[in-house]
Structure 1
């Protein structure tokens, strides 16, 4: 804990070196971590990736950001490490990993809650937009009376609208949009589709010529 506090207080040029030396993290020289409490077991930040101020990421096996991926301000990212000696999730000991993986040029904006008790994967050029969305990979299985979890996959070139809820086992396929305030609670398969509602269902097809789906850089002007 003392090393974490000391590293947090250092200017970035020194802080990066301390995080690499003291915690074994892999942080590219062009990556940047703001005043954020980010201490997974393993942290990988590729070139030009960024985690902004006031984000918290704890109790995780892995946080990995590919090139130019970003996590905005004030996100709460939690998990339940796979090496815990707690009886929770013991039935998933060989399959569960508490991980957050962001693909190239993907973005999580600000004020979201990402529960990574099981793996949460966000594909390349995807955007988790707006505010106050919840990604919940774990819950109580009332039939078996135990904590249970399942991974969430958000595909490449997807757009996730504001204030959504995404539950464990859900899949948003590549080149899709999830409408604001929707509940995604299962694995969908159809690409180029707008999903929306509670629970989310296919609403309409999306044009493959839409500029968002054909970007070569993550930033949207």
Structure 2
């Protein structure tokens, strides 16, 4: 955990040892961090209430429906809005915003972009911050 991190008491963290949170980040009540594989939350990120970051899934082509896990990475300044879902193996670029109730099923690599919908698609750009407060 970096300095000035606020993780609310109502957050569900499946494996605390698989969680890295950068400085000045916040994770709101009702968030689920299902981190069978690592979840990396960058500096100045916000994960809003009810969001679900899920690193576990199943290989639907395997005979035994094999459990698999892939990490999730949020670059600095990402905002995951209320009740959004982030799938296993997703990386989000710096400054990305994931709109409320959006579903992110693949990595979104264009920085400072707003994504919405199911599946999440670019809908707007976001102003870059010249320098973040310390």
Partner of 1:141: 59
Tell me by how many angstroms 1:133 deviates.
Answer: 1.2
Tell me by how many angstroms 1:215 deviates.
Answer: 3.1
The answer to whether residue 30 in structure 2 is matched with residue 111 in structure 1 is yes
TM-score when normalising by structure 2:
0.91
Equivalent residues, number: 132
Partner of 1:159: 79
Greater RCO (CA < 8 Å, at least 6 residues apart) = 2
Partner of 1:216: 133
More helix by share: 1
Deviations 1:143-186 (A, max 9, x none): 12200110001110111100011110111111111100000111
Report matched runs for 1:186-201 at 5 Å: 186-201=106-121
Deviations 1:36-85 (A, max 9, x none): xxxxxxxxxxxxxxxxxxxxxxxxxxxxx111112112111103x9xxxx
CA contact under 8 A between 2:18 and 2:37: conserved in structure 1? yes
SS at 1:180 equivalent: coil
Deviating runs (4+, > 6 A) in structure 1? none
TM-score when normalising by structure 1:
0.57
Tell me by how many angstroms 1:214 deviates.
Answer: 4.1
Q: Radius of gyration: which is bigger?
A: 1
5+ residue gaps, structure 2: none
CA distance in 1 between counterparts of 2:124 and 2:18 reads 32
SS at 1:135 equivalent: strand
The answer to whether residue 63 in structure 2 is matched with residue 127 in structure 1 is no
